[in-house]
Homo-oligomer: A and B are copies of this chain.
C-alpha cells in the first residue's frame, strides 16, 4: 500500500512538472511573438509555431495522464480537486498557446508594411500578461492563494493597458486611412494579450478553488467581466 501511495504521489508530481513545462513553453511563445513584432524579425514566427506543436503534444499527454489517474486511483477530496484543476489549467495553457499563434498572424500582416509607430505599451502589456501566466502556475504548484490573488489583481492593469492602446490607435485610424489596416492589427494583438491575461486569471481562480475548496469564479463576478 505504501508503495502504491508513493507511486500516486510521483504521478501527481509528474503531472505538475508537465504543466510547468507546458506553461513555460507558452510563455516563451508570447515573448518571441512580441520580439518578432518589435524587432521585425520574421524568423521568430517559425520558433513560435514549433513551440505550439510542443504545447499541443503536452496537452494530450496531460489529459491522458490525468484520465489514467482518475480511472486507476479513484482519488477523492483534495487529490480529486488537484487533478480536475490540472485538467482545467491544461486547457487554459493550450488556449494561451493558440493566442500567441493569433498574435503571430497579426504580426505577419504588420511586417508587410513599414512600422506605424514606436511600440511601447504593447510590449509592456505583454510583459504583465506573461508574468501573470508564470505566477499563476507558481501559485498552482505551491498552492499559494496569496500569489493567485495577486495574479487576479493584475488583470485590471492589463485591461487598463488595452483601453489606452485602443484609444490611441483609434486616433491614428481616424487621422490617416492608410494606417487603418496596421492599427487594426495592433488592436487585435492588444486583445489577444488581454485574453492571455484572462486565461492566467482563470488559472489563479482554479488554484484558489483547489486550495480552499470553494469556487471563486462567479460569486466574485470575474469570469463574466471580460471586457468586450
Chain A residues near B (Cβ < 8 Å): 52, 56-57, 59-60, 63-64, 67, 70-71, 74, 76-77, 80-81, 84, 87-88, 91, 94, 97-98, 101-102, 105-106, 170, 173-175, 177, 180-181, 184, 187-188, 191, 215, 217-218, 223-224, 226-228
A71 in contact with B76 (CB, 8 Å): yes
Whether the pair B173, A180 counts as a contact (CB closer than 8 A) is yes
Copies in the complex: 2
B residues in contact with A67, CB < 8 Å: 80-81, 84
Contact between A170 and B184, CB atoms less than 8 A apart: yes
Cβ 8 A contact of A177, one of B59, B60, B87, B173: B173
A173 to chain B, nearest CB (A): 5
Bound Cα distance A217, B173 (Å):
38
**A218 CA to B56 CA in the complex, in Å?**
7
Whether the pair B181, A170 counts as a contact (CB closer than 8 A) is yes
Chain B, residue nearest A177 (CB) = B174
Tell me if A98 and B174 are in contact (CB < 8 A).
no
Using CB atoms, name the residue of chain B closest to A64: B215
